[in-house]
Chains A and B, each alone.
Chain A
């Protein structure tokens, strides 16, 4: 992590390591900034879950076979009406369309594969870069 979460500015770019405290601190940075901008508990829940799932996808899937020490980058911008988060890993990327739908009956008991579903459910917009190693997601404050 590049700085303590207590300083949490409205925008930042953080190198997140694959360990609990580093991931917690990165999520807290976004959430502390969002709290300052008056986002509700439900909004904070949504954004934290989406950021967590995107970071974990980067570590578990994006960095599969790569050194565990590689960080994932989280860039965020918190404004009064929107929260934009970009998570980029250093892996070869993936094709989002290839991820099986975990809500189908044949997949419902699979142990993994729900992160992207939750990100899409809770964020207003989700875009992947062509390579598939970067996801940009935007949360819009409900009216």
Chain B
């Protein structure tokens, strides 16, 4: 359900920002837009953003959410930053494979592995 409350949790560890989702289902269009806007603000807050997006606990994801991730990826790239995805459930990873977005994104089993992969 759409809400005005934040749909993400953000942790900062040094220059690395880690985003987790509040909801198990990332389907609602207005929530997706809110998530997109919040992450855009996080990216804009750093000169060369290092961003980890963790999908821990996420059970459903729509194509609109994938579109938002692509926009995030483009924004990070524009700011010469780095984006990593982590903790993707096997069923959701299949969505990435079907859409071939597993080739576009840097995907890691855990957030720790994602952090280690940052340059």
**A109: which B residues are within 8 A, CB to CB?**
70, 73-74, 104
Interface residue tally for chain B (C-beta within 8 Å): 27
Q: When the two chains form their complex, are residues A20 and B67 in contact, meaning their CB atoms are under 8 A apart? A: no
Q: When the two chains form their complex, are residues A56 and B60 in contact, meaning their CB atoms are under 8 A apart? A: no
Complex: A111 Cα to B99 Cα, angstroms? 12
Q: B45 to nearest A CB, angstroms? A: 23
Q: When the two chains form their complex, are residues A48 and B60 in contact, meaning their CB atoms are under 8 A apart? A: yes
Chain A at the B interface: SS class: helix
Complex: A21 Cα to B30 Cα, angstroms? 11
Q: How many A-B Cβ pairs are below 8 Å?
A: 65
Q: When the two chains form their complex, are residues B100 and A49 in contact, meaning their CB atoms are under 8 A apart? A: no
Interface CB pairs A-B, < 8 A, 28: A20-B29, A20-B30, A20-B31, A24-B1, A24-B28, A45-B91, A48-B60, A49-B60, A49-B95, A52-B27, A53-B63, A56-B62, A102-B99, A103-B99, A103-B100, A109-B73, A109-B74, A109-B104, A110-B67, A110-B70, A111-B67, A112-B64, A112-B67, A114-B67, A115-B63, A117-B63, A117-B98, A118-B99
